[in-house]
Amino acid sequence: MKALRTVIALLVLVALGVLASQWLSSDATRDLGEVFVRVGGYDFSTTVPGALLAMSITALLLWLLWNLVTLPFRAWGRYRRKQARARLTEGLEALHGGHWLRAEKLLQLAAEDDEVGTIARTAAIRAADARGDESAVQAHLSALAQRNAATHALASADRALAQLRPADALAALDAPAAQPLPPRGLGLRAEALAATRRAGEAYGLLGALKQQQALSPTAYSTLESRLAAQAMHEATDANVLAERWETLPKHLRADAAIVAAYAERAAALRWDDAAARSLEQAIDARWDESLVALYGRLPIGKLDSRRASAQRWLLAHPASPALLVALAQLARLQGQWPQAQEFLYRALAQGASAEAWEELGHGFTAAGDEVLARRSYANALNASRGEATTELPGRDMKQKIFDEAVVEDRDAHGVPRLRG
């Protein structure tokens, strides 16, 4: 196609030349002016249009001569580029198939071409890494650094993160020569920051990641939730925790995992009011068994108000295993072991598992009944393994029927919920 375009262009130029020569032969062109040139004692004269035509023809002849002279070199360059692309394709196929040594050799040869060199060298690093040849990996990385600093930073960081060396990944990504980082570099930096317990900084990169569409919506949402929860856990004091919580978008403050992280950190910082309030608000807004379970085992005070909230929820969710266990935990902490025991038997009848048995073990231990405590702990272990548990003595038929009875669930307005 390119040769055809060249032929057509030459034919057009020839036609224009013929027309121009006919026009130049007329006397009218002399009225446009004349040009006199003296070279080596010889005088040449022509009209201005004739001089322009002569210069154009000379330029065309020089261009044709240059193309003829450089034709072998250009042909050799095209051949080398074609060969490099073929080696790159074969090398990537070998890499995908697990032929590490063959892939590395093909990719190293392809890397000699400027056009595909960066891609080939990056893939060669993966092949050498898969072979476990550290010296080859370092050689490829060194060659890549000379060719493309940003790609070298990405390859080094990716490898460092895979080897659980997040500090080295950050050092590679923060190198001045690697700036500005491409979208994938921002993603790797966020992961490295999170791995070094700097989730607050990593969360700050989410805006740039979203703007550059570096992640799919699902991946972005997952990363956002994970970093937000980790940032809650890493808060150094109550002020930092409160600031991070308040700056979260509304939809994240309703995320169960993030609410749990906030409540757990608030409890660890002895901020009991915030821990209890966050869980109560989240549970009132949307029922979540995991948050209810956390509400019962959270190591904070406020036992009376927490017990009252749990009793209120029981009206709407009488068959909730997590809520029954939570009520048992609160009752035991209040010194009401008989009531706690009843809640736990009901929880087991409604499907509670290891946590209820473990709580029974704690209660029997505190009550001095070592036999039932040991049996309860054994059942907790069996339940966690998915194995059968043994029934504890002391429950008559009437009590068992009561434990297994399911009271209809009602919403906050007292309206029964349909079971589907």
SS (H, E, C) 163-211: CCCHHHHHHHHCCHHHCCCCHHHHHHHHHHHHHCCCHHHHHCCHHHHHH
The total number of residues shown for the chain amounts to 420
Strand partners, 381: none
* Token duo for residue 196: 């070094």
Biggest distance spanned by C-alpha atoms of the chain? 134
302-420: CATH topology: 1.25.40
Chain-centre distance for alpha carbon 380: 37
d(CA 165, CA 202): 16
Cβ contacts of residue 291 below 8 Å, gap of 6+? 256, 259, 260, 279, 282, 283
Three-state DSSP state, 44: strand
User: Cα-flanking dihedrals φ and ψ of residue 388, to 5°?
Assistant: -70, 150
* Token duo for residue 127: 């092949």
Q: What is the pLDDT of residue 48?
A: 61
User: What does the pLDDT look like over 279-316, one tens digit per residue?
Assistant: 999 999 999 999 999 999 999 989 999 999 999 999 99
- Give the residues of the chain that fall short of pLDDT 50: 79, 396-403, 408, 412, 418-420
Q: What is the pLDDT of residue 111?
A: 85
DSSP-based helix, strand, coil % in the chain, nearest 5: 75, 5, 20
d(CA 125, CA 324): 56
Q: What is the pLDDT of residue 41?
A: 65
CA atoms within 13 A on the CB side of 211: 7
Chain-centre distance for alpha carbon 323: 35
Q: Are 228 and 197 in contact (CB under 8 A)?
A: no
Q: How many other C-beta atoms are found inside a 10 Å radius of the C-beta of residue 254? A: 15
d(CA 147, CA 150): 9
- Three-point CA angle 137, 180, 128, nearest 5°: 10
Q: What is the pLDDT of residue 223?
A: 95
Q: What is the pLDDT of residue 419?
A: 43
Q: What is the pLDDT of residue 36?
A: 62
* Token duo for residue 396: 């008559």
- Three-point CA angle 151, 154, 156, nearest 5°: 110
Q: How many other C-beta atoms are found inside a 10 Å radius of the C-beta of residue 311? A: 12
User: What does the pLDDT look like over 142-176, one tens digit per residue?
Assistant: 999 988 999 999 999 999 999 999 999 999 999 99
